[in-house]
């Protein structure tokens, strides 16, 4: 009989550092992609990212767990869920980044926890009053941001916001469906093979559109390839490992609340590096959305134990696969 021991303060500090590193990488990823998309098209950018991240993650998964011996039905489920989180999400997400300032595009990270809750109702999941309040506040901020797009001089457009909302909605569905699969198959094998299989339709679509020169016909600057490499290895591989390690030590509830910081980092970096200057009203609505996301994701007493009892109903568990950006 084994007795569970609490993590040491040193391991908790290390885990928290990993979670904060992950949040920074996610926030910086949107800014990096915005800069890269000014030189290369979305198809080329995402193809290179997927090939790099998928290769590294599959290699890590096989090294740690061996080649999966899943049934054909399981492979289809992994590929189908991966289709949501990779082909559809990446197509919507990169379009949203192209059509919006990076600071606004980064709000996808804050919208996902908010969208997961009402979608979970369709699968029998319940949420608390605090979570419901968070959803209401976040949607109020989103409606306010949509209203601001009607004002002259605001670079955020209704179409751009709809693409971001579609990306958040698809990722929320992916999050709901990946929980039972990642818990049963293991998070690393699930994430690695769902990324690889789920990206196949996107890669087939992207092949005729690959671009290996800049807009003027000159070669692609090395900084652009470095940006793509950072997105693939930093925001996906390194962030995945750091987030998974943090969740294992701190628990999913304590780690997930930090996700709302990613859009804040995006906003700060987009202003500092991309010189984005948006009206204070836009940042105000963004703050309302993030406050709602924080409330919706705030850990509550007894929530973790309720989650474990209702894992089959897609509640949060410590086995939740971390998002890939």
> Quick check: 173 and 119 in contact, CB under 8 A?
yes
Query: Average model confidence (pLDDT) for the chain?
Result: 83
Whether the Cβ atoms of residue 289 and residue 145 lie closer than 8 Å to each other: yes
Instruction: Identify the band that residue 5 occupies on the pLDDT scale cut at 50, 70 and 90.
Output: low
| Alpha-carbon distances of 106 from 85, 110, 136, 175, 264, rounded to whole Å | 17, 8, 20, 18, 8
Average pLDDT over residues 13-26: 88
**Confidence at 46, pLDDT banded by 50, 70, 90:** very high
pLDDT, one tens digit per residue, over 197-208 is: 999 999 999 999
Mean pLDDT across the stretch 257-270?
Answer: 85
Q: Domain residue spans in the chain?
A: 12-209+221-313
Instruction: Yes or no: say if 34 and 97 are a contact pair by the CB < 8 Å rule.
Output: yes
CA atoms in the 13 A half-sphere facing the CB of 74: 13
The whole-number average pLDDT for the span 14-41 is 91
Q: Is residue 12 predicted with pLDDT exceeding 50?
A: yes
What pLDDT is recorded for position 95? 93
Q: What is the pLDDT of residue 141?
A: 86
φ and ψ of 157, to 5 deg: -115, 155
pLDDT computed for residue 40 by the predictor? 93
Whole-angstrom distance, CA of residue 269 vs CA of residue 93 = 19
Percent of the chain residues topping a pLDDT of 90: 38
Residue 19 has pLDDT above 90, yes or no: no
Residue 258 has pLDDT above 60, yes or no: yes
**Six token digits for residue 172:** 């929320």
CB 110 within 8 A of CB 293: yes
Q: What is the mean pLDDT of residues 203-218?
A: 84
pLDDT digits (tens, 9 = 90+) for 266-307: 988 999 999 988 788 888 888 898 888 888 777 665 544 444
| Burial annotation 123-136 (CB, 10 A radius, 16+ → b, else e) | eebebeeebeebbe
pLDDT for residue 37 is more than 90:
yes
Q: Is 209 exposed, middle or buried (0-12, 13-18, 19+ CB in 10 A)?
A: exposed
Residue 177: is its pLDDT beyond 60? yes
Phi, psi (degrees; rounded to nearest 5) at 266:
-60, -45
Q: pLDDT category, 57, cuts 50, 70, 90?
A: very high
* Higher local confidence (pLDDT), 153 or 200: 200
pLDDT at 153: 66
Residues in the chain: 325
- Given a contact cutoff of 8 angstroms between Cβ atoms, the answer to whether 279 and 226 are in contact is no
Q: Tens digits of per-residue pLDDT, 110-130?
A: 787 778 778 877 777 777 888
- Residue 232 confidence (pLDDT) above 90: yes
Hey, is 123 helix, strand or coil? Answer: coil
Report d(CA 259, CA 321) in Å as an integer. Answer: 14
| pLDDT for 300 | 64
Segments in the chain forming alpha helices (H): 9-36, 42-65, 72-82, 89-99, 102-105, 108-121, 129-148, 158-185, 187-198, 200-206, 222-229, 239-250, 252-256, 261-273, 280-297, 303-309
pTM listed for this prediction? 0.82
């Amino acid at each position: 009989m084994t007795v569970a021991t609490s993590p040491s303060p040193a391991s908790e500090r290390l885990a928290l550092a990993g979670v904060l590193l992950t949040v920074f990488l996610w926030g910086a990823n949107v800014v990096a992609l915005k800069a890269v998309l000014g030189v290369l098209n979305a198809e080329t950018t995402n193809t290179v990212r997927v090939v790099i991240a998928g290769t590294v993650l599959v290699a890590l998964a096989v090294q740690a767990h061996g080649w999966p011996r899943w049934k054909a039905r399981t492979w289809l489920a992994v590929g189908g869920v991966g289709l949501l989180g990779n082909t559809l999400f990446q197509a919507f997400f990169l379009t949203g980044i192209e059509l919006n300032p990076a600071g606004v595009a980064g709000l996808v990270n804050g919208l996902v926890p908010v969208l997961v809750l009402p979608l979970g109702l369709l699968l029998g999941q319940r949420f608390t009053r605090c979570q419901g309040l968070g959803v209401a506040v976040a949607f109020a901020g989103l409606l306010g941001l949509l209203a601001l797009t009607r004002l002259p001089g605001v670079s955020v457009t209704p179409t751009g916001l709809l693409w971001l909302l579609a990306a958040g909605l698809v990722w929320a569905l992916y999050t709901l469906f990946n929980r039972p699969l990642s818990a049963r198959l293991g998070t690393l094998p699930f994430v690695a093979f769902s990324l690889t299989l789920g990206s196949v339709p996107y890669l087939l679509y992207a092949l005729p559109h690959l671009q290996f020169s800049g807009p003027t016909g000159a070669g692609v600057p090395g900084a652009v390839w470095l940006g793509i490499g950072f997105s693939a290895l930093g925001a996906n591989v390194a962030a995945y490992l750091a987030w998974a390690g943090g969740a294992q030590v701190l628990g999913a509830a304590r780690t997930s609340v930090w996700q709302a910081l990613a859009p804040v980092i995006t906003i700060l970096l987009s202003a500092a590096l991309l010189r984005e200057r948006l009206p204070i009203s836009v940042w105000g609505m963004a703050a309302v959305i993030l406050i709602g996301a924080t409330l919706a994701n705030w850990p509550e007493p007894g929530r973790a134990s309720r989650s474990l009892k209702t894992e089959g109903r897609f509640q949060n568990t410590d086995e939740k696969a971390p998002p890939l950006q």
